[in-house]
Amino acid sequence: MNDIPPLPWLRAFEAASRNGNFSNAGDELGLTPAAVSHQVRSLEEHLGYQLFSRKKRPMELTTMGELYLPWVIKAFETLRLGTRDVFGTRNTRPLRIRCLPTFAQLWLLKQLPDFRVRYPEVNMQLHMGTWASAIQSSQLDIEIRFGNGDWPGQRATLLGRPPVVPVCHPSLQPSSETLEELRDSPLIEIIGVADNWHQFFRQENLAPPGHIPALNVDQSIAALELAANGMGHALVSELFAIPYLQDGRLVRSLPLEKHTDQAIYVTCPEGPVSYGCQMFLDWIVERSSPMRQV
């Protein structure tokens, strides 16, 4: 026997228990009394126990029905609360945002209190964990992403195009100011980015190092933390490096930077957007204006 009975049967059982008869339960569920009765009987056959005593009016639950009903009610309530928490109610559906983890930790989370003060009526869901990549763009209201601005079906607005800079722990800062100095140094690479150490050396008309980077990570925040702990030189967006440079955890390895075609964008699906979505778009473009003035 399948442990979980079909949902319509359980709905019919719960409604009939609450209403005391199949007729009122049918009105509530949009079914005929006969259809409700059939679903309840199917549930009883599935469980192997009678749930109602049909000899009395209004109907009464059997002992097994009384034992089962609280569990069914609890299951529906759990499902209702889960649906509300994940998707929101029809009138208070949250604004669903997916954001680059490093951008969220080093910039967005520090700015969001201002948004909440201005728009307290807008509820949000912020997705920035590894599992967030499994969510389809069509299921989101807004994405903050890194790329060239070309995403089919999406309207992209530039937030910033910061250069890429090499950074390291102060104890690893080279004595000279030439990239050649870093050839034999431990390098930290961010997997999957276009602006990597290989390209950085090429930009300076130097042959890239022959050795493989000492450490490879998949997030800029990880590269920054490793560099701050003296593990090597990281090539990161200047925007992400600023907090580390300001408090002295990192210094620039060299007075060099790489300008890039890649940038940070906020995107939303083409077409009409909700009030909350438009308010967030206007707010983040305004809030990020210093990035575009660099």
Q: What digits encode the pLDDT tens for the residues 172-215?
A: 998 887 788 888 889 999 988 877 888 888 887 887 777 777 78
| Per-residue model confidence as pLDDT tens digits over 117-129 | 999 989 999 998 6
Mean pLDDT of 238-245: 94
Provide CB contacts within 8 A for 63, sequence distance 6+: none
pLDDT at 253 over 90: yes
C-alpha span between 187 and 214 (Å, rounded):
6
pLDDT at 88 over 90: no
Instruction: Give the least confident one: 40-49, 141-150, 172-181.
Output: 172-181
Provide CB contacts within 8 A for 153, sequence distance 6+: 137, 269, 270
pLDDT at 244 over 90: yes
Q: What does residue 134 show for φ and ψ, rounded to 5 degrees?
A: -75, -15
How many other C-beta atoms are found inside a 10 Å radius of the C-beta of residue 4?
8
| Domains of the chain as residue ranges with CATH | 7-87 (1.10.10.10), 95-161+262-293 (3.40.190.10), 164-252 (3.40.190.10)
pLDDT at 30 over 60: yes
CB 172 within 8 A of CB 230: yes
Share of the chain above pLDDT 70, in %: 92
C-alpha span between 124 and 130 (Å, rounded):
19
CB 75 within 8 A of CB 16: no
Question: Any bridge partners for residue 260, and if so which?
Answer: none
Mean pLDDT of 270-286: 92
Helices 22-29 and 33-47, packing angle to 10 deg: 100
Q: Of 94 and 91, which is predicted with more confidence? A: 94
pLDDT at 261: 82
- Name the band, by pLDDT with cuts 50, 70 and 90, for residue 145: very high
Supply the mean pLDDT for the chain: 87
pLDDT at 282: 95
Share of the chain above pLDDT 90, in %: 54
Provide CB contacts within 8 A for 61, sequence distance 6+: 17, 51, 52, 53, 69
